[in-house]
Amino acid sequence: MSFHSGFVCILGRPNSGKSTLLNALVGEKLAIISPKPQTTRNRILGIINVEQQKGRPGGQVVLIDTPGVHKPDSSLGRKMMAEVREALEGCNLVLYITDVTRKFDARDQFVLNMARKTRTPVFLLLNKIDLLRKKDELLPIIEQYRQLHDFKEVIPLSALKRQGLDVLLEKMLKSLPEGPRYFPEDQVTDQPARFMVAEIIREQVLRQTGEEVPYAATVVIEQFEEGPKLTRIAAAIYCEREGQKAILIGKGGAMLKKIGTAARLQIEKMLGTRVFLELFVKVRPGWRESPQFIEEMDWRRQLEHLAGSRIE
């Protein structure tokens, strides 16, 4: 009985549907989604366990969602691109995902080059086929991509409408090597709950505020006390300017209340307890240019430091 497993990196430009695909494949909301580019800032693991069936090996697929590939113009952007490179390191398979409604250009070529450099097999995922008026519009697109690289598989799909996902999962398993179960069967991600809570709050900031605030906002959990029935959470939303703070708070606190209520409902669903959520807005000018602050925000580094101090 064979067991296939490995690490599969989802790579693509901002907004191509990487995080939607991760959530759809895992069947749980692990990554936040928004129509705004650069929603995802960290690499996010999603673990899929598949039982063996007739003609299909069982296995474990460890998916890695990544920030969209772009030319960074800040320390934050550079950190996001470092996350992409770390995700690509040592992975067994790359899912190169594109939005079929967008024309291939130099930025797509840049992403494709990154995928090729890994020297691992690359699947081409043509996402958002639900937006095509006629299915035969796909044929010339597929032909065009085939000229660019010898993709191991070409799979049209819709992450949003969950079309083509079974085919994708089957082909991933077949393509992965025989290997061990890397994570326990009941684990779906490596993200700590408090980081997921911070992300849920940030998603509401992205959704409820306009153009300028989302990119300048980040969320830090300052208190996280889990009880059997009630979880107490205090979080700070950092922005860069007083004007952004005013928008985040809103008239008489209305905006902050809206963000808080929407986030709380989702956090309660995730944790399975009632949640008492307190939000603050803080201004930290130019935090996106502060490597030190960005480092502090990285939960993987925080865990390393914790582990390090325990060993000493």
Residues lying near Mg ion in the complex (CB under 5 A): 18-19, 40
Name residues whose C-beta falls within 8 Å of residue 123's C-beta, 6 or more positions apart in sequence: 93, 94, 95, 96, 151, 152, 153, 154, 155, 168, 171, 172, 175
Residue 189 binding: pick among ligand GDP, Mg ion, none (C-beta 5-8 Å cut-off by kind): none
Would you tell me how many other CB atoms lie within 10 Å of the CB of residue 143?
A: 9
Among 80, 59, 74, which residue's Cα sits nearest to residue 170?
59
Instruction: Give the one entry of ligand GDP, Mg ion, none that residue 12 binds, where binding means its C-beta sits below a cut-off of 5 to 8 angstroms depending on kind.
Output: ligand GDP
C-alpha closest to that of 197 among 219, 167, 166, 229: 219
Task: Give whichever of 185 and 211 is closer to ligand GDP, judged by the CB atom.
Answer: 211
Q: Where are the beta strands (DSSP E) in 168-271?
A: 218-226, 230-239
State in angstroms the smallest separation of the CB of 22 from Mg ion: 8
Nearer to ligand GDP, 20 or 244 (CB): 20
CB of 273 to Mg ion, least distance (A): 27
Return the number of the residue (78 or 305) whose C-beta is nearest Mg ion: 78
Listed in sequence order, the residues at least 6 apart from 58 whose beta carbon sits closer than 8 Å to its beta carbon are 1, 2, 3, 4, 50, 51, 52
Give least dist CB 292 to ligand GDP, A: 27
Residue 156 contacts which entry, Mg ion, ligand GDP, none (Cβ below 5-8 A, type-dependent):
none
Closest CB to ligand GDP among 37 and 57? Answer: 37
Q: Which is nearer to Mg ion, 64 or 168 (CB)?
A: 64
Minimal CB distance residue for ligand GDP: 17
Residue the block writes with tokens 């796909």: 138
In contact, 247 and 237? CB cutoff 8 Å: no
Minimum gap (Å) between residue 102 Cβ and ligand GDP: 11
Per partner kind, with CB cut-offs from 5 to 8 A, the member of Mg ion, ligand GDP, none near residue 260 is none
What is the rounded distance in angstroms from the CA atom of residue 111 to the CA atom of residue 109? 5
Q: Compare residues 43 and 128 and give the one whose CB is closer to ligand GDP.
A: 128
**HSE-up (13 A, CA, CB side) for residue 18:** 31
Spatial separation of the C-alpha atoms in residues 31 and 63, rounded to whole Å = 12
Which option in ligand GDP, Mg ion, none does residue 178 bind, with CB closer than 5 to 8 A by kind? none
- Among ligand GDP, Mg ion, none, what binds residue 35 when CB lies within 5 to 8 Å by partner kind? ligand GDP
- The helix/strand/coil state of 156 is strand
Binding-site ranges for ligand GDP (CB under 6 A): 12, 14-20, 33-35, 39-40, 68, 127-128, 130-131, 158-160
Q: Residue 37 CB, nearest distance to ligand GDP (Å)? A: 6
